[in-house]
Amino acid sequence: MEIKPLSVCLAVCAALLAVCHGYSTGKEFITTFLPNSEGSNHKGQKLQLVLTAKCTEANVRIQVASMNFNKQLRLAAGESRWVSLPCGAELQKEFVTAKSAVRISSSAAISVVSFNRRFATGDGAVVSPLGELGTDYFVYTPKPYRDLDSLFAIVNGNNENKISILPHNDVELRGRNMWHHGMRVNIILAPYATYLVRGRSTLTGTRIQSQQPVAVLVGHQCLSMGYTCEHVYEQLPAVANLGTEYLVPTTTSSEAKNSAVIVAVEDNTELTLHTQKQLSSILIIVMYR
């Protein structure tokens, strides 16, 4: 399903609103791009960032050391600008890729939204500033679809970092390696390295803990949308930034399927769902093991 101009417009409007209200703005960011659809088909591929200055002029620098990419630009107060990155900034190789983090630094507060688009498939996500990153995450990925992978990537900052990955399920990885439930995988990432995991089954429930803050992106190469599929990804909030109350909107289309996924980070979590349609509340005990 091809990205419609309205979808892109709404995503950019969301970024502009974030700037106006001071949410998800900062001076330092790290991120990456997950594999979109089939890696060998680069038709129409675009890796882009939308940068928006807040209240003052901002001098911005974007770097991807593994690609020798270095771009500097100046934004006027309130200005938004699209910046294209080389296609090689999209991760493909499983596990460690040295110096592959996309680094954004600014002289003043900005917001950042990333887009990974290819012919007939693509998605976008708000990039969180360094100050919102954490050391504890729980992964969610959609269900497997055909021969395409569930994904997560860890993006390290400017210090060497010890990281522990605890699978919630037995997971077959793309290289036919197996991760087993409850068996930790311990890694050390050099500054600005990334760590990509490509699962043949869901990676939901996997716990990622690190000594230093990291960014974690999750998604799917191409999620089933009925007759077609769509690349999806999101940057995860750290456990410390999670909340206890959420409002979940639905689409207005009568043909659309609405669903919400809840991942508990503590055992015996009591969850109450309030549904306006049924004028009722549903109490669920969520067990995490």
The answer, yes or no, to whether residue 253 has pLDDT greater than 80, is no
Domain ranges of the chain: 5-286
Alpha carbon distance 147, 69 (integer Å): 32
Per-residue confidence (pLDDT) for residue 278, from 0 to 100: 52
Record the pTM. Answer: 0.86
Distances (CA, A) of 114 to 15, 43, 84, 111, 229: 10, 19, 10, 10, 20
Q: What is the pLDDT of residues 13-72, one digit of tens each?
A: 444 444 444 458 999 999 999 999 865 556 678 999 999 999 999 999 999 999 999 999
Q: How many CB atoms lie within 10 A of CB 259?
A: 6
Strand partners, 179: 171
**178: CB partners within 8 A, 6+ apart:** 170, 171, 172
Q: What is the pLDDT of residues 64-112, one digit of tens each?
A: 999 999 999 999 999 999 999 999 999 999 999 999 999 999 999 999 9
Contact status, residue 75 vs residue 51, Cβ threshold 8 Å:
yes
